[in-house]
């Protein structure tokens, strides 16, 4: 059997392992809290919930949230099988899988994913491509899943429920006036999905010209531009007022449960990596020194070293968010439990602790400027300051990790600067498309790369030649 096929089958089984983990987490948490009987009803409520960023599905049900994450994983596995892609799973598939499940605790679900995944297969038919050729991009296309939920559930009839808001008196409503899925909305959603997917592959192919290959979230800038266009037609042309988004953070936190559950699966990945390749640790030593620019860790260092990176990098990301909790008071709400996986996205193709750490340092340093230095200098208002306990910033960091090639290729200092720049603008950009794009942070990383890389190579040409 070809080595690539062997690796693909191993990766598929690893993705199945993570899928099982979320279902187990759902059941175990339900048993611990006596809420197992609520898992399915709450999961169905999540399906009826508008997905506009940023909503904390813990506010509906923690056990239901993990069941939703498991169902999103299961849908992706079925999609891979239906595309004939079990023997074609690669680093791109891994990236699409973890990025998508990362959203499932704050907006993604099987209903708003499906139109876009099917839309990409319609594109494949139109372009006479095989299903497996568009498999990965079909999962990445779920970037605008919030628009699918919006059209299916609410648009344009906002007069019937809570003034267009998904919250009433600061808490989640039962959505009784919004729960019915609109058959016309399903058709409209599918049309939008197909149109989006007809543009998306072409833009993704050209995206490296925009960010010079230094934004691992290559699908981020195309998703941002296309989302902007879509929202313009849905709300500006029709003069329909965009709805408000849901709460950024629920009061529910399950830090210890997340730490143990995620830690166990990272440990399993480490053991698997060691079992599959006797040279895995030696190869991982080479991997950790890789710049991450245009890298496929599986091809370069083998499946064993890559699985060790699953473990080490996963533990690193978990440790980073844990440090933000204890140092700055961050909460492990639904979005934060989810974005651990968004930060995990490029674990097989560019991201490792060595090139992501400078990005994190940049984030922390600039947050201290905002929360400590500016108040000391009496600059700006106290209310609304952005720090490393702000849910939007914690989410944004997971996408800033996509700039890992900047620190890997150009040096630690430039990685720190890139992190600081990302922090500065990431909360401005979602306002342009009313929080309907999950890939906002990837879009922002593209903008930072577009500005920073030409500057570096203009003033420090030796960096370009390195």
Closest CA to 174 of 52, 34, 61: 61
Among left, alpha and beta (phi > 0; psi -120 to 50; other), residue 435 is: left
3-state secondary structure the chain: CCHHHHHHHHHHHHHHHHHHHHHHHHHHHHHHHCCHHHHHHHHHHHHCCCCCCCCCHHHCCHHHHHHHHHHHHHHHHHHHHHCCCCCCCCHHHHHHHHHHHHCCCCCCCHHHHHHHHHHHHHHHHHCCCCHHHHHHHHHHHHHHHHHHHHHHHCCCCHHHCHHHCCEECCEECCCCCCCCCCHHHHHHHHHHHHHHHHHHHHHHHHHHHHHCCCCCCCCHHHHHHHHHHHHHHHHHHCCCCCCCCCCCCCCCCCHHHHHHHHHHHHHHHHHHHHHHCCCHHHHHHHHCCCCCCCCCHHHHHHHHHHHHHHHHHHHHHHHHHHHHHHHHCCCCCHHHHHHHHHHCCCCCCCCCHHHHHHHHHHHHHHHHHHHHHHHHCCCCCCCCCCCCCCHHHHHHHHHHHHHHHHHHHHCHHHHHHHHHHHHHHCCCHHHHHCCCCCCHHHHHHHHHHHHHHHHHHHHCHHHHHC
pTM listed for this prediction: 0.92
Structure tokens given for 320: 């980073």
Structure tokens given for 191: 């049309």
pLDDT of amino acid 169: 38
Give the number of other Cβ atoms within 10 Å of residue 367's Cβ.
22
Span 227-248, average pLDDT: 80
Proportion of the chain above pLDDT 90, given as a percent = 71
Asked whether the beta carbons of 194 and 119 are under 8 A apart, the reply is yes
What is the DSSP pairing of strand 167-168 with strand 171-172?
antiparallel
Distance CA 195, CA 227 (A): 12
Name the residue with higher pLDDT: 52 or 338.
338
**CB-based contacts of 138, cutoff 8 Å, min separation 6:** 79, 83, 116, 117, 119, 120, 121, 197
Q: How far is CA 11 from CA 4, 97, 142, 341, 465, in A?
A: 10, 11, 21, 16, 35
Using the structure block, give the residue that is written with the tokens 């199945």: 16
Asked whether the beta carbons of 149 and 120 are under 8 A apart, the reply is no
Span 232-250, average pLDDT: 74
pLDDT of amino acid 466: 59
- Asked if the model's pLDDT at residue 159 lies above 60, the reply is no
Confidence of residue 397 (pLDDT cuts 50, 70, 90): very high
pLDDT of amino acid 111: 94
Q: What is the pLDDT of residues 308-358, one digit of tens each?
A: 999 999 999 999 999 999 999 998 888 899 999 999 999 999 999 999 999
Name the residue with higher pLDDT: 154 or 414.
414
pLDDT of amino acid 431: 78
Distance CA 335, CA 102 (A): 8
Using the structure block, give the residue that is written with the tokens 């106290």: 382
Cα-flanking dihedrals φ and ψ of residue 167, to 5°? -125, 150
Distance CA 162, CA 353 (A): 44
Confidence of residue 49 (pLDDT cuts 50, 70, 90): confident
Asked whether the beta carbons of 402 and 439 are under 8 A apart, the reply is no
Using the structure block, give the residue that is written with the tokens 């090139």: 355
Confidence of residue 360 (pLDDT cuts 50, 70, 90): very high
Proportion of the chain above pLDDT 70, given as a percent = 92
pLDDT of amino acid 158: 60
Q: What is the pLDDT of residues 263-303, one digit of tens each?
A: 999 999 999 999 999 999 999 999 999 999 989 999 999 99
Confidence of residue 249 (pLDDT cuts 50, 70, 90): low
- Asked if the model's pLDDT at residue 168 lies above 60, the reply is no
Confidence of residue 142 (pLDDT cuts 50, 70, 90): very high
Confidence of residue 369 (pLDDT cuts 50, 70, 90): very high
Span 367-395, average pLDDT: 91
User: Angle, nearest 10°, between helix axes 62-82 and 334-343?
Assistant: 30
- Asked if the model's pLDDT at residue 444 lies above 90, the reply is yes
- Asked if the model's pLDDT at residue 176 lies above 60, the reply is no
pLDDT of amino acid 52: 82
Distance CA 320, CA 242 (A): 35
Confidence of residue 172 (pLDDT cuts 50, 70, 90): very low
Distance CA 323, CA 333 (A): 15
Confidence of residue 180 (pLDDT cuts 50, 70, 90): low
Structure tokens given for 447: 């903008």
- Asked if the model's pLDDT at residue 15 lies above 70, the reply is yes
Name residue 171's beta-bridge partners.
Answer: 168
Distance CA 97, CA 18 (A): 10
């Amino acid at each position: 059997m070809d080595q690539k096929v062997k690796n693909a089958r191993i990766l598929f089984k690893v993705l199945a392992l993570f899928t099982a983990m979320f279902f187990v987490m759902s059941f175990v948490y339900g048993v611990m809290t006596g809420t197992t009987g609520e898992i399915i009803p709450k999961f169905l409520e999540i399906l009826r919930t508008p997905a506009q960023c940023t909503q904390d599905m813990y506010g509906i049900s923690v056990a239901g949230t993990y069941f939703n994450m498991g169902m999103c994983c299961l849908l992706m596995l079925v999609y891979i099988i239906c595309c004939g892609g079990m023997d074609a799973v690669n680093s791109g598939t891994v990236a699409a899988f973890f990025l998508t499940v990362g959203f499932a605790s704050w907006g993604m679900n099987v209903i708003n994913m499906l139109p876009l995944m099917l839309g990409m297969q319609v594109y494949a038919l139109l372009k006479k491509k095989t299903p497996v050729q568009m498999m990965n991009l079909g999962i990445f296309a779920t970037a605008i899943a919030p628009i699918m939920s919006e059209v299916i559930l609410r648009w344009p009839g906002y007069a019937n429920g809570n003034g267009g808001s998904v919250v009433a008196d600061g808490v989640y409503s039962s959505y009784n006036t919004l729960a019915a899925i609109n058959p016309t909305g399903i058709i409209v959603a599918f049309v939008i999905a197909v149109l989006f997917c007809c543009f998306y592959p072409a833009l993704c192919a050209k995206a490296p010209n925009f960010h010079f290959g230094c934004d691992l979230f290559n699908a981020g800038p195309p998703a941002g531009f296309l989302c902007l266009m879509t929202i313009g037609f849905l709300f500006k042309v029709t003069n329909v007022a965009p709805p408000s988004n849901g709460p950024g953070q629920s009061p529910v936190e399950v830090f210890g449960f997340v730490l143990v559950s995620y830690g166990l699966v990272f440990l399993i990945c480490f053991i698997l990596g060691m079992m599959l390749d006797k040279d895995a640790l030696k190869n991982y030593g080479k991997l950790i020194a890789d710049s991450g620019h245009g890298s496929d860790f599986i091809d370069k260092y083998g499946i064993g070293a890559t699985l060790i990176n699953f473990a080490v990098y996963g533990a690193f990301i978990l440790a980073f968010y844990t440090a933000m909790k204890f140092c700055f008071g961050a909460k492990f709400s639904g979005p934060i439990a989810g974005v651990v996986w968004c930060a995990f996205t490029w674990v097989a193709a560019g991201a490792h602790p060595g090139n992501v750490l400078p990005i994190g340092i940049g984030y922390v340093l600039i947050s201290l400027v905002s929360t400590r230095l500016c108040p000391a200098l009496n600059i700006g208002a106290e209310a609304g300051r952005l720090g490393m306990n702000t849910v939007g910033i914690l989410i944004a960091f997971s996408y800033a990790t996509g700039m890992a090639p900047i620190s890997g290729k150009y040096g630690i200092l430039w990685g720190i600067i890139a992190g600081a720049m990302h922090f500065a603008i990431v909360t401005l950009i979602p306002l342009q498309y009313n929080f309907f794009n999950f890939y906002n942070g990837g879009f922002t990383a593209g903008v930072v790369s577009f500005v920073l890389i030409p500057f570096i190579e203009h003033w420090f040409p030796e960096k370009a030649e390195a």
